[in-house]
Chain A
Amino acid sequence: MEMPLNLRLAFRNIFRNRVRSAVALAAISFGCISLILAGGFFEDSFLRMREAYIHAHLGHIQVYQEGYLDKGNSKPFDYLIEDPATVEGVIEGLDHVKDVTPRIGFSALLSTGESTMSVMAQGIDPEGENAMNVITSIKDVTTSLEFSKGETLGKDDVFEVNIGRGLARALDIEVGDSLILLGNTVGGSFNGMDVTVKGIFFTASEEYDNYTMRIPIALARQLLRTEAAQTLVVLLDETENTDLVLAQLQDLARTRNLKIEMKPWYEMADFYNKTVDLYDRQFFVLKIIIAVIVILSIFNTIAMSIWERTKEIGTIMAMGFKRREIMRLFLLEGSILGIVGGVLGTLGGLLCAWLISLVGIPMPPPPGATVGWTASIQLVPGVFMTAFVISVTAAIASSVYPSYKASRLVVADALRYA
């Protein structure tokens, strides 16, 4: 199959002046590559942040007793899952579910004997939680919960606890210290326990590390005098499957009359959402800037290549081509230039992203976090699409005015053009 004549003509016109076209194509590809790298870098930050939150704190979906989301804040102990094992069993039966682990959180007082602070105590199942903390989806990252001193809770620990780094600093706590944990039971009476510090942890969220301690859920249940769970944290194989599993779970809750309700991670990751929103806006501005740069750098080339064909335009107008047909011809050329530039840019972007990811970009800790990391460039189809569309659009946009001017030429004048 031969290419239609007008396409053939457009292609050949683009390659008529090799040096000039190469420069224009370089400008377009350069813009495309910049967008792919910037977008892929943002996506990488999002991915890391998201996975860190999910694995350290949120899980993919959290399941509560019905009513908890509305009223759990004021009366946390009135909305507990009384029979967590059954619900856990049901959830574990779903596809894509990797891990379900119970939690019970409460506020308590933590005392060293000298000083006392109000803390968030989180009763966790060490085994389930440790499995959840493992991150497999990001290169060079293995866990979302890291220990500056000591180590994480194990399944045989009874009175051992982990303390957030900020909290440990505030109370001047070291590994091995004995502390007193004081709290209210579910029934409302006062209860206290002696605990031993086993490790001091930090996560991607400094705020979390400033107020939180993690204790074995058995200890929490003993302190609170309940067998219930407050939250069942569900971890999936892939973050992309969240909505799928959420829908299945909602169905299941309805048909089995489980009296539970649930929230996906993204409804809880407020900081993440705000960050993504902020970066998206920055990226939007960046897209505009790059589009403008591309347009400014190729406009002249396109205009020149059209002007110098004035006589040719006069000739084909004399042959009976109409203004809009002339305009279409040049817009077609602009589109092809954009498409060729976009394809080159996409390939270049892939190559650059791969090279940069190979080396890695050393990064300082993001706001609210405590550790630096090595960033890479994520290859996200959406980013490639955007970069490609912007390249093509910029090339077409640069052709609009020269094409319009060309289409408005007076035939006789165009023919006289030397």
Chain B
Amino acid sequence: MPIIEARNLAKDYNLGKTVIHAVKGVDLRIEPEEFIALAGPSGSGKTTLLNLLGCIEVPSSGTLQMDGREVTRLSADQLADIRHDKLGFVFQTFNLIPVLTAFENVEYALLKRRLSPKERRDRVMDALEEVGLVEHARHRPEELSGGQRQRVAIARALVRQPEIILADEPTANLDHLTGGKVLEIMKRINEERKTVFIFSTHDPKIMEIAGRVVYLRDGEIVPAGD
């Protein structure tokens, strides 16, 4: 069974006079353990599609199933529950909470989980260890480099052990080398933990690491071999 199945998924933005069809009838199946890249030119709908798959945007039409469950018509709170239980997010701009330390930023993702203080600590440290940032646990985001920040963000997404991590251009704000390392970490987590990664990118080199690349153009998936 696919972990995500989108059928004829579409998103329109109504700007008053004009309507923008950001995603137009996308069919997409994502299987467990996949490491998928969404590619395409700027404005092709990568972010919009990721947002739809990540349940942070509601489709205008079409259906979306997660683990076989229809999620298209769920309420805001039910969608929040799905995001909380199944999904993790990594953003192009890292989006760490500036007043919290690396440790606390990761801990924040566990705020709604009932865990003993020790268990919570252990899980946060595990996640930081996974991204190689144990020594930086007490640092605030402003004291970290871009690559380190993004690794904290990955730890934060990882700490809840989600089935899927969605990452919108996770390396776009990093130099090539750092971006490559971040991607390696993602790939390793995918292989070791079987966490599904769906990420968007402009970078052809990064696409090489991806298990599958889905090309978008004008809100549509470009058929393979095109």
User: CB within 8 Å of B: which residues of A?
Assistant: 5-6, 8-9, 12-13, 16, 311-312, 314-323, 325, 410-412, 415-416
- Expressed in whole angstroms, the Cα–Cα distance for A322 and B112 within the complex equals 11
> Would you call A319 and B109 a contact (CB within 8 A)?
yes
Considering the complex, give the chain B residue whose CB is closest to the CB of A8.
B104
Q: A12-B99, A320-B85 are in contact. Are A5 and B91 (CB under 8 A)?
A: no
- Assess whether B107 is interfacial by the CB under 8 Å rule: yes
- Expressed in whole angstroms, the Cα–Cα distance for A319 and B100 within the complex equals 16
> Would you call A317 and B108 a contact (CB within 8 A)?
no
- Chain A residues with CB below 8 A from B99, complex form: 9, 12-13, 16
> Would you call B57 and A411 a contact (CB within 8 A)?
yes
Question: B47, B104, B156: which contacts A5 (Cβ < 8 A)?
Answer: B104
| Closest chain A CB from B147 CB (angstroms) | 19
The total of Cβ contacts below 8 Å across the A-B interface reads: 73
- Assess whether B111 is interfacial by the CB under 8 Å rule: yes
| Selected A-B contacts with CB under 8 Å, 23 pairs | A5-B111, A9-B97, A13-B99, A16-B99, A312-B95, A315-B89, A315-B95, A316-B97, A318-B56, A319-B83, A319-B89, A319-B109, A320-B80, A320-B82, A320-B83, A320-B87, A320-B112, A321-B112, A322-B77, A322-B80, A412-B48, A412-B56, A412-B57
| Closest chain A CB from B96 CB (angstroms) | 8
| Closest chain B CB from A306 CB (angstroms) | 14
- Assess whether B222 is interfacial by the CB under 8 Å rule: no
- Expressed in whole angstroms, the Cα–Cα distance for A319 and B54 within the complex equals 10
> Would you call B97 and A5 a contact (CB within 8 A)?
no
- Assess whether B74 is interfacial by the CB under 8 Å rule: no
- Chain A residues with CB below 8 A from B54, complex form: 318
> Would you call B111 and A6 a contact (CB within 8 A)?
yes
- Expressed in whole angstroms, the Cα–Cα distance for A13 and B111 within the complex equals 17
> Would you call A9 and B108 a contact (CB within 8 A)?
yes
- Which of A315, A317, A319 has the most chain B CB within a 10 Å cutoff? A319
> Would you call A320 and B56 a contact (CB within 8 A)?
no
Binary A-proximity of B71-96 (CB < 8 A = 1, otherwise 0) = 00000110011111101010101010
What 3 A-B pairs come out closest when comparing CB atoms?
A320-B84, A12-B99, A411-B56
Considering the complex, give the chain B residue whose CB is closest to the CB of A324.
B77
- Chain A residues with CB below 8 A from B91, complex form: 315, 415
| Closest chain A CB from B45 CB (angstroms) | 13
> Would you call B107 and A321 a contact (CB within 8 A)?
no
- Assess whether B190 is interfacial by the CB under 8 Å rule: no
- Chain A residues with CB below 8 A from B84, complex form: 319-321
Binary A-proximity of B130-164 (CB < 8 A = 1, otherwise 0) = 00000000000000000000000000100000000
| Closest chain B CB from A107 CB (angstroms) | 78
Considering the complex, give the chain A residue whose CB is closest to the CB of B96.
A315
Question: A314, A316, A325, A412: which contacts B108 (Cβ < 8 A)?
Answer: A316
- Assess whether B51 is interfacial by the CB under 8 Å rule: yes
| Closest chain B CB from A336 CB (angstroms) | 13
Binary A-proximity of B101-142 (CB < 8 A = 1, otherwise 0) = 000100111011000000000000000000000000000000
Considering the complex, give the chain B residue whose CB is closest to the CB of A414.
B56
| Closest chain B CB from A323 CB (angstroms) | 6
- Expressed in whole angstroms, the Cα–Cα distance for A12 and B100 within the complex equals 8
| Closest chain A CB from B124 CB (angstroms) | 11
- Expressed in whole angstroms, the Cα–Cα distance for A154 and B84 within the complex equals 87
Considering the complex, give the chain B residue whose CB is closest to the CB of A2.
B117
- Chain A residues with CB below 8 A from B95, complex form: 311-312, 314-315, 415
| Closest chain A CB from B101 CB (angstroms) | 10
- Chain B residues with CB below 8 A from A416, complex form: 47
Considering the complex, give the chain A residue whose CB is closest to the CB of B117.
A2
> Would you call A317 and B104 a contact (CB within 8 A)?
no
Given contacts A16-B99, A415-B95, 17 further A-B contacts (CB under 8 A): A5-B104, A5-B107, A8-B100, A9-B99, A314-B56, A314-B95, A315-B97, A318-B54, A319-B109, A319-B156, A320-B84, A321-B84, A322-B76, A323-B77, A410-B57, A412-B56, A415-B56
- Expressed in whole angstroms, the Cα–Cα distance for A312 and B141 within the complex equals 13
Binary A-proximity of B39-64 (CB < 8 A = 1, otherwise 0) = 00000000110010010110000000
> Would you call B56 and A9 a contact (CB within 8 A)?
no
- Which of B51, B104, B156 has the most chain A CB within a 10 Å cutoff? B51
- Expressed in whole angstroms, the Cα–Cα distance for A317 and B56 within the complex equals 8
- Chain A residues with CB below 8 A from B100, complex form: 8-9, 12
Q: A13-B99, A412-B56 are in contact. Are A321 and B80 (CB under 8 A)?
A: yes
Binary A-proximity of B170-190 (CB < 8 A = 1, otherwise 0) = 000000000000000000000
Considering the complex, give the chain A residue whose CB is closest to the CB of B94.
A315
Q: Identify which of residues 12-63 in chain B touch chain A, using a CB-to-CB cut-off of 8 Å.
A: 47-48, 51, 54, 56-57
| Closest chain A CB from B71 CB (angstroms) | 14
- Expressed in whole angstroms, the Cα–Cα distance for A171 and B77 within the complex equals 85
- Expressed in whole angstroms, the Cα–Cα distance for A412 and B57 within the complex equals 6
- Expressed in whole angstroms, the Cα–Cα distance for A323 and B156 within the complex equals 21
> Would you call B76 and A5 a contact (CB within 8 A)?
no
Considering the complex, give the chain B residue whose CB is closest to the CB of A318.
B89
- Expressed in whole angstroms, the Cα–Cα distance for A333 and B47 within the complex equals 32
| Closest chain B CB from A240 CB (angstroms) | 48
